[in-house]
Amino acid sequence: MALMERILFGIAKQWIAGDTINDALNAAQVSYKNGMSVIINKLGEYHTSKNIIENTISEYKTIMGSFRKWKVSGAISVKPTQIGLMKSKKECLNNFEILIRAAAKSQTFVWLDMESSDHTDETIQIYENLLARYERLGIAIQANLMRSQGDLADLLSIGGKIRLVKGAYRESPDVALKSKEKIDQNYQRLMKILFESGNEFGIATHDGAMINFAITLAKTHEKKFEFQMLRGIRDELKPDLIKKGFSLSEYIPYGTNWLPYSIRRLKERKRNILLLGSSFLSHKMGT
């Protein structure tokens, strides 16, 4: 392992549970004991190998079937390119149907992760198809994309359940907002729409200003929503939110394919580097 990779791994292991399903479920138990639900994601994307796709589906089914036994309140989060979208939309939809049937047995919530804008249309089409048959299903919307307000309106009109994120993929300025200020403004605009017209949504951010804006909106809009944060980031804030009566889910990634994910998380916003650095130092100093 190269030096930079070793340094990144030292930081990344705070939010990545480990390599295996058991690592993820062990981390989930800790979250649950601390008053949080969990969202488990197996790392990896852009799969075209039949064996890898089948193994990914099998692992998600095992996780969903294990939540009750491990006494965890949990959901899974699946990237469409993990389970066949790189081969065809039809194959991806068929594989999601396998997961939905397993989710129905354990009453598990399933999130569709949103990837780069190349896949936005197909991901939304798959979501709309599945939502007609399984209601415990949500989709991520990225505030950095210019199209997101229109997508949000369309999804809310069919009862869609939304996870609002800032967006972590490198995008063209033709389709995406580039400055932090503009992305934050759009995040707040979309959040306001969610509090006015949505229900059962996730505010997925580590940004204190966005969290405070959500708290303010919650005072005047009685909505079922939760904050969502990565395991290992903003750990000092999570107990305070729970004490105030807010629901909170920790996003727990696991698997060996940690490097591309971690680099994307760090590139996502320069502020993440500061948050990770302070969390890492606090952890090392035992605070």
- Give catalytic residue positions: 113, 163
Place of tokens 């309140």: 73
Which secondary structure element, helix H or strand E, spans residue 6, and what is its range? helix 3-12
* Structure token pair of residue 108: 């598990």
Task: Give strand pairing partners of 270.
Answer: none
Residue 243 to residue 264: CA distance in whole angstroms:
31
Backbone φ, ψ for residue 63 (5° rounding): -60, -50
Overall residue count recorded for the chain in this entry = 287
Alpha-carbon Rg for the chain in angstroms: 18
Is residue 248 a contact partner of residue 230, using CB atoms and an 8 Å limit? no
Task: Give strand pairing partners of 100.
Answer: none
Phi-psi region of 263 (alpha: psi -120 to 50; beta: other; left: phi over 0): alpha
Nearest to 186, CA basis, from 141, 228, 227: 141
Task: Give strand pairing partners of 42.
Answer: 254
* Structure token pair of residue 7: 């340094």
Q: Compute, in degrees rounded to 10, the torsion defined by CA atoms 208, 213, 217, 223.
A: -40
